[in-house]
Structure 1
Amino acid sequence: MLQKALELSDIFAPHEAKRRDELFQLNRRLIHYTSAAAAVSIIRNSAVWMRNVLCMNDYMEVEHGFQLMRRSFEPPVDSESERGLRAVAAALDAIFPEISKDCIDWFNGWLFALRNKTYVTCLSEHHPSENEYGRLSMWRSYTASQVGVGLIINPLPLYSLSQTFGAFSSPVYYFGDVELRDTFFEIASNVTANKDLLASKGADEVKGYFCMLLRGIAMCTKHPGFHEEKEWRIMHTQGLDEQGALLREVEIINGVPQPVFKIPLKDHLESGMTGISIPDLLEHVIIGPTEFPMPVKDAIVIELEKAGVKDAETKVSYSNIPLRT
C-alpha cells in the first residue's frame, strides 16, 4: 500500500522523492533542535508540540511559499513559476478537463486556514559528521539565553503519518521562482508520461495529490539561502485535517496563551502508526554548548530512564563546539 502511494506521490512531488531517497539511501537521521526545558517536557510527557505558524520565530519561514504560489496564479501573473504551473495544469487538464481549476479553487478556498490555522513542528536532516558537535547554526538559534538540545530520531515512522493520525510530514523546499518553475516542468512531464496510470486512478484521487502539492509548496518552501538547514516539517491544519490522535490544548509560552496540538509519542493502531514511542523513536541526544553540561546530561538521562530507554547513559552526549555569542 505504501509503495503504491509513493508511486503517485513521486509523480506529483519528485522534489520530495529526491529528499526522501537521499535520507534513506545515505542512512541519515532527523534531529529536533529545541531547548533543554522543551526536551525534558517531550521525554517526560511523551508528546511533541505543534505550534501555530503565526507564532514561529520568523513568520517569513512560511510566508515565502505563499508568495511564490500567489505569483503563480493570482493576477497579474507573469512569473517563471506561473509558466511552470500552466504546464502542469495543461498536462492534467488533458486527462481530466478543468481539474486544475478545481484544485486552484480548492487551494484558494482553504487559504485562510492554511495561513492562520496550521500548526507545525520542525526537524532537520542530521549528517553523520554532526554526531559529535551538532550544527553550529542551530546552536546559535537555541543557546542565546538557554541550553539547547538536539533530539536525534529514526525518520522511518514519519512515512506512516497520515490524515487519520492527524498530521503529515514534508521536507522543506528551498525554491525561488526559477527553481519552482523547473519543478513544475518536471511534474508536468511526469503527468504526461504517466497519463494512463493517472486516468485509471480517477479524477478525485488525482485531484487529491495535486491539491497536496499546492499545499506543500505553500507551507514548506523557504528562500534558497536557508538550504543548509535541510528542514522537515510535521503539520496539521485545523478544519482541513482530521484531528486523529492529536491532542488540542492551551499552553502559555513566553507569557502568551495559545492553542497547541500535541503529537502523542505512542503507537496509534487506528492509523497504523507504530514505532514512535520514546524508546523506539529516540536514538541519541546532543546537549548544546552550556556552562552546565554534566547536570543537564544527568537530568536528561534520568528522564530517559523513566521513559523506558535502555542504556540511557550511552545515548546522551554534549557538544563542546566553541560558540561565540
Structure 2
Amino acid sequence: MSHRTAAPRLPDWVRRSIGTASQVSTVEKIIKQRQLHTICEEGRCPNRAECYAQKTATFLLMGPVCTRACGFCQVTSGRALPLDPDEPEKVAESVALLGLRYVVLTSVARDDLADQGAGWFARTMAAIRERNPGVAIEVLTPDFRGDENCIATVVAARPVCFNHNIETVRRLQNYARKAASYERSLAVLATVRRLDPAIATKSGLMLGHGETHEEVVQTLADLRTIGCERVTIGQYLQPSRAHLPVQRYWTPAEFAELEAAARELGFAHVRSGPLVRSSYHAGEPE
C-alpha cells in the first residue's frame, strides 16, 4: 500500500474547530507552566477544545519524543529525552489545580528504559493519589514489548481501567505500526485480565487505513475473546503529508453500525464516531 495514494476530500463530519483562547487557556497555562505534555496537544486531538472547556486533559508522561515511529501518529519520534524527576509531582499538582476526578495517563513508547516506563506510570499514579485521594486513574500504555513484568508493575498500581490500543485490523498492522503486533496487543490486554480481573480493560481502533467492515468486526470479536470490556472506534486523520494517507472516511452511519456490532458482541462501554479518540469521555458512565 503506497503512501502516495491521494486522500479523499475531508468530509464535513470530521471538521471541528480547535477552540478559542478562552476554552484552552486555563488548562494550557497549568500544563505549560510545569513543562508537562498532553496527548491532546502532541497528538493534535480534534476534541481538545471540548475537553479543555471541561477542564480535562490526558497527561503524556516521559516527554514528547517516542522511540517508535508509527506511520499514523503525530507524536514526534526519535531519541527520547531524559526523564524529569519532578514530573509525577507536577502531574499530581496539575490534577489538584484542575479539580479532576478522573485522570488519564498515557506515554510515549520508551524502549530505551529498562522497564520501558512501567515504573514511571506507577510512581505518577502514587503521586496523584497522595495529593488527590479518591481520584480515579485510567492508563493508556504502550505494549511494553509484551514484557509481563512491566505490565504487572502497572497492574499492581491499580488503575480503574487499563487501555492499550490495537489501532488497526490484523492485515494492516505492519503497514500502520511496524514496531508492534496484533497478537502482542491482544496478549497485553489478556495479561491484565489474568493478573487482575477487577481492572477494566480497553482498546481502540482508528479507521481509514483500508480496512473492511468485516475486518473491524473480527477485530472487535478478537478483543472480546480475550475479555476486553471497553472499546473506542474513531476516524484516522492524516496529521501531515509525511504520515500515512487516509484511504477513506467512514460515515457517521457506519460508525453507528460498528457501535451496534460492538454492543452485540458484549462490550460494556463503547464510543464510536468519526472524532472519537482513546480518552474521549473516558470517565463517563454508559
- Say whether the fold is shared (TM-score over 0.5): no
Pairwise TM-score range, normalised by the shorter structure: under 0.3
Normalized against structure 1, the TM-score is what? 0.22
Output the TM-score relative to the length of structure 2: 0.24
- Greater relative contact order (Cα 8 A, min sep 6): structure 1 or 2? 1
- Find the structure with the greater CA-based Rg: 1
**Which of the two has greater strand per residue?**
1
